[in-house]
Amino acid sequence: MIRATPKPLVLPCLALLLCHAAGCGTDSGGPADAGVDAVPLATLTHDQLLEACVRLSACEIERHPFLRDCANNFYDRYAAYGQGTLFQNLFVCANQGGWSCKAIRECFGFAGRPKACDKSYPTECRGEVAYACDLVRRENGEEGWEQALDCRNGGLRCAVKETGTTRVAVCGGGACDSAAAKPECRDRRLLNCIGGALEINDCPAQQLQCRDPFVAGCEGTGRSCAATKAICKGSVLTKCQHGYLQEIDCAKLPGKKVCDALTASCKGSGTECSMDADFDACEGDSLAVCLDGYKKKYDCKAMGFLGCTKSTAFGAYCKAEPVYQ
């Protein structure tokens, strides 16, 4: 099989930047000016995001029973907490890595030949690079992989967050003094110092905004409202979010969504498959998945992998060459 050489990551300069939301901590405890370098945002469509998820699953970086869990992580976690630019650039890099797990792993801060680690690994920041041990159990063993994630790729800073017995290096606004810092709204985003790390709740990325930093979450962008049941007007979902109206046009969200007042959410519009019961599966050399209630297949061999293989637990994935053995 002839395979193309992975291309280096090239980030086109676009006006949409999220990094200005990040602040850095000060010794006095209060967030200072952002002080974070602007980073261009790579273009990534929803379909390209899903394709990247197939590659990440093949290379044991993001492997789930449902492919959509990888996409949900991007929208619900990375983008919502100020890491949208960082992970969008990483997912674009993964697609440019093609079939090469070495190139794809390096996009995400893992060595081409993964370095083993365990629970005793000393998570830390070295400059703006977050070092940690990814302990997600994989099918080839119980050891974790050392990950060195450069926060500067998303215009962010590294800080060690300590809560209870948990210590983790995170990309966000940088270090801060938890005893002195107070929550604040900046550019409609909520900044809060937790465990010595300045966290960014990117309210606009969720079609919300920060009005009162002492409210536990983002608020709606509309007029004030009392807590009422969500309603649907066509594809638009309207609900009261922390005292203010929020309107979401489900038809404009990634994928194929419709408004569902019963669950106060935008849900998949398809009926071809079950979002709860139909795990990812192999159909010959293709990975068959259920997305928004619609069936979709990814030809593993056409993407450069060896074929499709069933997980030992639930789901399936494209099988990559074991380049790290």
Residue 131 lies in a domain: no
The pLDDT tens digits along the chain (325 residues) read 333 333 333 332 222 223 323 333 333 333 333 335 566 667 899 999 999 999 999 999 999 999 999 999 999 999 899 999 999 999 999 999 999 999 999 999 998 888 889 888 999 999 999 999 988 755 555 688 999 999 999 999 999 999 988 999 999 999 999 999 999 999 999 999 999 999 999 999 999 999 999 987 899 999 999 888 899 999 999 999 999 999 999 999 999 999 999 999 999 999 999 988 899 999 999 999 999 999 999 999 999 999 999 998 889 999 999 865 5
Residue 252 lies in a domain: yes
As a whole number of angstroms, the distance between CA 319 and CA 197 comes to 38
Residue 255 lies in a domain: yes
Tally the domains of the chain. Answer: 1
Tokens of 264: 């106060």
DSSP 264-301: TEEEE---SS-TTT---EEETTEEEEEETTEEEEEETT
* Residue 176: other Cβ atoms inside 10 A: 29
Residue 127 lies in a domain: no
Residue 71 lies in a domain: no
Residue 66 lies in a domain: no
Contact residues for 102 (Cβ-Cβ < 8 A; gap 6+): 112, 113, 323, 324
The whole domain housing 249 covers: 222-269
Residue 263 lies in a domain: yes
46 alpha carbon, distance to own chain's centre: 13
As a whole number of angstroms, the distance between CA 306 and CA 254 comes to 30
Residue 87 lies in a domain: no
Q: Is the pTM of this model over 0.75?
A: yes
As a whole number of angstroms, the distance between CA 316 and CA 309 comes to 6
Residue environment code for 288-320, b if the CB has 16+ CB neighbours within 10 A, otherwise e: bbbbbbeebebebbebbbbebbebeeebbbbbb
